A and B are shown apart, each in its own frame.
Chain A
Amino acid sequence: MWLKIEKRPEYSKGMVYATPLIALLLTVLSSIILFEVLGVNPMEALYQFFVAPLDSTYGFSELFVKATPLILCAIGLSVGFRANVWNIGAEGQLLMGAIFGSSLFIYYPETESVFLLPVMILMGAVGGAAWAAIPAVLKTRFNANEILTSLMLVYVAGLILSFLIHGSWRDPAGFNFPESQTFSDSADMPILIAGTRMHLGTLLALLAVLGTWIMMARTLIGFQVKVIGEAPRAGGYAGFSQKKIIWFSLLFSGALAGIAGISEVSGPIDQVVPVISPGYGFTAIIVAFLGRLHPAGIFFAGLLMALTYLGGETAQINLGLPLAVTGVFQGMVLFFLLASDVLIHYRFRWNFSTKAVS
C-alpha cells in the first residue's frame, strides 16, 4: 500500500483564488496551537498580531508605510513571473534605485528646486532598471539563467552601497559614522497625512497597482506578456518577440523596485544608511505569489505581509513573544499556500496493491 500523487485532469479555477484565504485560515488555526504551546492565550495573541497594530490612524498609516516597498517590488515582479521571467534580484534593484536616486542629493545637497524630488524618483527608476538590464542582456545574448544572475547582482549592489556609505558618501559632520547627511526638505517625500509617516511613495505604489492592472488587462504588451508566459510557441507564431518580453519585464520590475528604493531613502529613512531594506525585494516574491500575480491580489497580500511585521512588533511589546514567531507565521502562510497549490493541480490516491514499486 502506498500513496500516489497524480495530476488532476482538470483543476478548479475557483480554488486558485480561494487558496490564499484557505492558507491564511490554516495559518491562524495552527498558530492557535503554537500559542497554546508557548503558553500564551491564543485569542489575545491573534488580537495583538492582527488587530492591535491597527488601533489608530497612525497604525493604519504605518501599515501602508511598511507595505509600500513590498507592493512596488511585487507588482513589478508579477509581470515578469507571468511571462516566465524569473527576476529574483528585486532587492538589488531596490538598492540601486536608492543609490541612483539619492546621488543627486548627495552631490548637490544645496538644491532647493521643486524638480529635485521628481528627478530623484526618475533616477531611482533608471537605477533599478539599469541594474535589471544586466540580467536582461545576459539572458537574451548568452542565454544565462536570469534567476542566478539577478540574485548574484543583489550582493554586488549591497557592496556598492557599502563602499559608498563607508567612503565618500559619509556625512562630513558625522564622526566617521557610516551614514549620509539627512535629506533636505526638497529631497524628502511629501507626507500624505499630517502626523503620520505615510508618504508619496504609497501613492506611487497605488498608481503602480492600477497602472499594471490596466496594462495587463487592456494593452497589447500585457497580452503579449500573458501569451509568452503561457504558450511561448503560440506567441512566436503570432509574431510576439520573446526577447522583447524578457527585456520589458526585467526593465519594468527593475524600475519599480528602484522607485521602492528611492522612496524608502527619501521617505521614512531620510538619509542613506548601510542597510536600506530588511529584505523587501525577497519578501516581495512571497507577496507576488500570495497575491496570485494579480495587481489587486498583490495589493492585499502586501498589506497582509506588512501586518504580520507590525503584529510581530506588538506581540513582542505586549506579550513578550520572541521575534521568531513572526518568521514562523510568514513561513506558515507560504507553506500552506504552496501546499494547497500542489493540491489544486494534483491529488493523492491510495494504491492498495501489495506489490511494492521499485
Chain B
Amino acid sequence: MKLKHISSLIGAVALAAGMLAGTAHAEDKVGFVYVGPVGDHGWTYRHDVGRKAIEEAFDGKVKTSAVENVKEGPDSERVIRKLASEGHKLIFTTSFGFMNPTLKVAKQFPDVKFEHATGYKRADNVSTYSARFYEGRYVVGKIAGKMTKTNVIGYVGSVAIPEVVRGINAMTLAARSVNPNVTVKVAWINSWYDPGKEGDAAKILIDQGADIILQHTDSPAPLQVAESRGVWAVGQASDMSKFAPKAQLTAIIDNWDKYYVERTKAVLDGTWKSQDIWGGLDTGMVELSPYNEAIPEDVVALAEEARKGIIDGSIHPFTGPFKKQDGSVGAAEGETLGDDVLLGMDWYVEGVEGQLPK
C-alpha cells in the first residue's frame, strides 16, 4: 500500500513538472530571504519595506517573493536554491549567515544575480552591500553625550563582530566629544533577535546606572524597557517610537528602498555588475527618524551639524586624535581610519568599559 502511494505520488509529480514547464514567466521575479520574522519591527521589517518599494516601482512588471524566518544553515541553502530554480532573476539574502550558502548556490546558477547583505565574500554574480550604520551612531552619540545625567550610556550588543564594535566606538567618540565624562557599558547577548534577552540586558544596564540605552539588536524590547523605567533609548533599524513614544530620542533607520529599486533596474536593463557597496548617510541608506521633542534645540543643532558634516564629507567619525581602551593611539591628530581598519575593528576606544569578548 505504501508502495502504491509512492508511485501515485511520482505520477502526480511528473504531471506537475510538465505543467510547470509549460507556463511562461510573464513578469520578472525578485526573491528575498529573511533571517527573522517580518514582524520584528527592525532589521527584517526594513528589508521587507524595501521589497515593497520594488513592487511599487515596477508595478506589474516585477513580482517579488519572500521567505521569512529562514535559519542560517542548511535550510537557507535550500531556500536560496529554490528561489533561483524557480526563475527569480535577482535574489537578496539579508543576513550575514547566508554568506556561504549564497555563494554555493550562486556557483550553480551563474545566470541569476545575488545580493548578500553584510558579508565579505563576492563572486561574478554575487554582490555585497551594507550600510555605514556607524555614521548614524555618531550623530546619536552627540545627543546621548548631552542628554545623559548619570554619564553612563548602556549598549545592548549582539555579536562582537567588527560592525557592532564599530558602532559602539563611533557612538562613544561622539558622546565623549561633547561630554568627556561619559562611559559606555556594553551587555552582549550573542544573538541578533531575542526580545527576552534584549529586554533583560537593558534592565541590567539601567540598574548599573545607564540612563540612555542603545542597541544593536533587532527587537523593540530594550526601548520598551527604557520607556517603562523612564530613561532614554535609541531605535534600531526602523522608527520604533510607537513602542516608546517618550523614551525614543531618535532612531537609526536602515533604508534599502533606493538600493533595491536600483539593483532591480540594473538586472532588467542588463547592466548589473558584481560590486561591494557600503552606503552611509549621504546615500540615504542610513537615516535618522525625527528627533524627540524633548531634546533641547542646541543639542539638535549639534546632532544636525554632525549629520550634515558626515554627508558633505567634512566630518568622519573616526578622525583622530583618540585613544584605544588600552591607552594606545587609535588615530593620531588629523588621521582618519580607512575602511580596511574599520572592517576589521576588534578593539574598543577609550571610554568603553569591560573587555571585548575574544
Interface of A with B (CB < 8 Å)?
47, 51-52, 54-56, 58, 62, 65-66, 162, 166-167, 175-179, 182, 197, 264, 267-271, 273-276, 278, 300, 309-310, 313-314, 316-318, 320, 322-323
Contact = CB atoms under 8 A, between A and B. Distances in A.
B108 to A, nearest CB: 9
A313 B68 CA distance: 9
Given A162-B190, A166-B159, A270-B100, A55 B77 contact: no
B72 A275 contact: yes
Contact of A273 (B13, B78, B97, B357): B97
Contact of B67 (A47, A58, A300, A316): A316
Contact of A323 (B69, B74, B165, B346): B69
B71 A197 contact: no
A177 B161 contact: yes
Contacts of B97: 179, 273
Contact of B75 (A166, A278, A320): A278
Residues of B in contact with A, size category: 35 or more
B285 to A, nearest CB: 21
Contacts of B78: 62, 65-66, 197, 310, 313
Contacts of A314: 82
A55 B67 contact: no
B17 A56 contact: yes
Contacts of B66: 316, 320
Given A178-B190, A268-B73, A55 B100 contact: no
Interface of B: 2, 9, 12-13, 16-17, 20, 31, 37, 65-69, 71-75, 77-79, 81-83, 85-86, 96-97, 100, 120, 159-162, 165, 190, 343-344, 346, 357-358
- Listed from nearest, the 9 A-B pairs whose CB atoms lie closest are A268-B74, A316-B67, A317-B65, A278-B71, A176-B161, A323-B69, A269-B73, A55-B17, A54-B13
Given A175-B162, A178-B159, A313 B73 contact: no
A269 B74 contact: yes
Given A54-B13, A317-B82, A317-B86, A268 B77 contact: yes
A162 B72 CA distance: 15
Nearest to B64: A320
A312 B272 CA distance: 31
B168 to A, nearest CB: 13
A176 to B, nearest CB: 5
Contact of A275 (B73, B86, B120): B73
Given A175-B162, A176-B160, A55 B13 contact: yes
Contacts, number: 101
A281 B82 CA distance: 25
B75 A175 contact: no
Nearest to A176: B161
B161 to A, nearest CB: 5
A323 B160 CA distance: 30
Given A55-B20, A316-B65, A318-B65, A166 B100 contact: no
B86 A65 contact: no
Contacts of A275: 71-73
Given A66-B78, A177-B161, 7 more contacts: A65-B74, A167-B357, A178-B159, A278-B71, A316-B68, A317-B79, A317-B82
B357 A166 contact: yes
A266 B53 CA distance: 39
A176 B67 contact: no
A173 to B, nearest CB: 10
Contact of A300 (B2, B74, B85, B346): B2
A65 B96 CA distance: 23
A267 B73 CA distance: 11
A273 B99 CA distance: 13
Nearest to A163: B190
Contacts of B159: 166, 177-178
A313 B79 contact: yes
Which has the most chain B C-beta neighbours within 10 Å: A55, A62, A166, A182?
A: A55
Given A177-B96, A317-B82, A166 B190 contact: yes
A318 B88 CA distance: 11
A269 B97 CA distance: 11
A234 B239 CA distance: 67
Nearest to B97: A273
Contact of B13 (A51, A267, A317, A322): A51
Nearest to A267: B74
Contacts of B37: 323
B13 A175 contact: no
8 contacts: A55-B20, A166-B190, A177-B96, A178-B159, A267-B74, A310-B78, A314-B82, A317-B79
A317 B190 contact: no
Contacts of B100: 182, 270-271
A47 B16 contact: yes
B335 to A, nearest CB: 23
Which has the most chain A C-beta neighbours within 10 Å: B68, B75, B165, B343?
A: B75
Which has the most chain B C-beta neighbours within 10 Å: A166, A267, A317, A322?
A: A317
A276 to B, nearest CB: 7
Contact of B344 (A162, A166, A175, A197): A175
A66 B65 CA distance: 22
Contacts of A176: 160-162, 165, 346, 358
Contacts of A270: 100
Contacts of A167: 357-358
Contacts of B65: 316-318, 320
A14 to B, nearest CB: 14
Given A176-B162, A177-B96, A268-B77, A317 B83 contact: yes
Contacts of B12: 51
Contacts of A276: 73
B85 to A, nearest CB: 8
B130 to A, nearest CB: 13
A323 B67 CA distance: 8
A175 B86 contact: no
A273 B100 CA distance: 12
A66 B358 CA distance: 34
A102 to B, nearest CB: 14
B94 to A, nearest CB: 15
